[in-house]
Amino acid sequence: MKTKIALLSLASALALPAFADIQVNGFANLIGGMTLDDDESVYGYDSDFDFEPASVFGLQVRGEVSDKLSATAQLVGRGSEDYEVDFEWAYMTYALNNNVNISAGRLRMPLFKYSASLDIGYSYHWLTPPDSVYGIDFNNIDGVRVDYTNYSGDWEYGSQLTMGKVKADTTISGTPALLELENVVALSFEATRDWFSARTLFARGKTTATNEEFDTFIGGMAQFGAVIPAAVTSASGFSVDGDTGTFFEIAMDIDKYDWFVGAEYTHTQVDNAVIADNDAWYVTAGMRFGKFTPHITYEVEEADNANQLGLVSALPSTITTGDAATDATWAAIYQGAAGIAAQQKLEVSAVTVGLRYDVEPGFAVKTDVTWYSDDLNGANDATLLKVGVNYTF
């Protein structure tokens, strides 16, 4: 039903006589992968060859309403979501002048270097971008974005101001939850000159994550405030309810065509919440030999759970109230809090070696091998093989 509604909506948009000029573009990322040992799993793959985790098919339609006003819609079907077709983008853009565009609706949030073309695998050398940086729960925002571009000498530069709200699925300690970001404000700046480019972004918003089971746990902890005063503070510190979240990104690239080097770094922080501070980065390099592009990438993701452990250390592991049931309940809550805090720590890295072959313009064949390492639990280490094709039209 969801697919039919999306396609009917698209057909209706195409039928509107107001759109004198309509452009239709599409893309496909057919990507299969598997881990090389039976007991390994990573990034949604296991030892059974599977196309679903990273395959994406999309169609983008842009209609010119007037010389200054246009409408854009992007329909996407993801293998990870059973190829259910849905509107990823649906927004209107007004060209204020040659330098400023204002867009409103559901649009891509420019968090990363490759945000605008994230689903178009043909636009980058990997089969999929480094998960340490790009593996977040959301990429789109409902709101307004102002784009400014200009030139100064040999420099081309631009900035984007994005405001709005986000709703997305996430997890809290492995349990599904609803993530809501409100009053989001993001400002990015990018500059390019010949073979060098750099960009940076800072974003801020109110963060809420709701899950019935987790909220019940937090409520149970807070109820012990009369016996354990620190329990109220710890419960507030574990909850994710309107807490201030910040995101910072910086990226640089050198592309001399025959060879290229790039790097990107992100920092995520949610104050007074169970979500641990997160730092992620990658460095990538490659060479172009005609139609062949061999490349290598090293990526790291780390999360520091010192604040979460501090909330647990302020609590007693046991209490004696004279009521065995109450004492046992607190002991279970404490053990749960300690486990949740410990799960927030993360130290992983990966090395990816890959090869891209450009069959023809708009069509590339790729293969990547990734060696994934979990420094906290070697049992999670895995070797992942992926092969696929990227196509645009």
**How far is residue 234's CA from residue 194's CA, in Å, rounded to a whole number?**
52
Task: Determine the angle formed by the axes of helices 230-238 and 306-313, rounding to 10 degrees.
Answer: 160
Count of CB atoms within 10 A of residue 154's CB?
8
Banded pLDDT at 25 (limits 50, 70, 90): very high
Banded pLDDT at 16 (limits 50, 70, 90): very low
Nearest to 240 by CA among 217, 214, 274: 274
Report yes or no: 237 and 272 within 8 Å, Cβ to Cβ: yes
Q: How far is CA 23 from the centre of its chain?
A: 28
Report yes or no: 218 and 207 within 8 Å, Cβ to Cβ: no
Mean pLDDT along residues 176-194: 96
Residues 6+ apart with CB under 8 A from 377: none
For residue 201, pLDDT over 90 is answered with yes
**How far is residue 143's CA from residue 162's CA, in Å, rounded to a whole number?**
7
Q: Tell me the whole-structure pTM to 2 decimals.
A: 0.91
**How far is residue 289's CA from residue 124's CA, in Å, rounded to a whole number?**
16
Residues 6+ apart with CB under 8 A from 133: 112, 264, 265, 266, 280, 281, 282, 299, 301
Each residue's pLDDT tens digit, 159-176: 999 999 999 988 877 778
**How far is residue 301's CA from residue 22's CA, in Å, rounded to a whole number?**
42
Report yes or no: 336 and 217 within 8 Å, Cβ to Cβ: yes
Banded pLDDT at 20 (limits 50, 70, 90): low
For residue 366, pLDDT over 80 is answered with yes
Banded pLDDT at 246 (limits 50, 70, 90): very high
CA angle 112, 251, 207 (to 5 degrees): 40
Sign of dihedral through CA atoms 333, 339, 343, 344? positive
For residue 9, pLDDT over 90 is answered with no
Phi, psi torsion values for 112, nearest 5 degrees: -130, 170
Place of tokens 């060098």: 196
Phi, psi torsion values for 82, nearest 5 degrees: 60, 30
Each residue's pLDDT tens digit, 309-336: 999 999 999 999 999 999 999 999 999 9
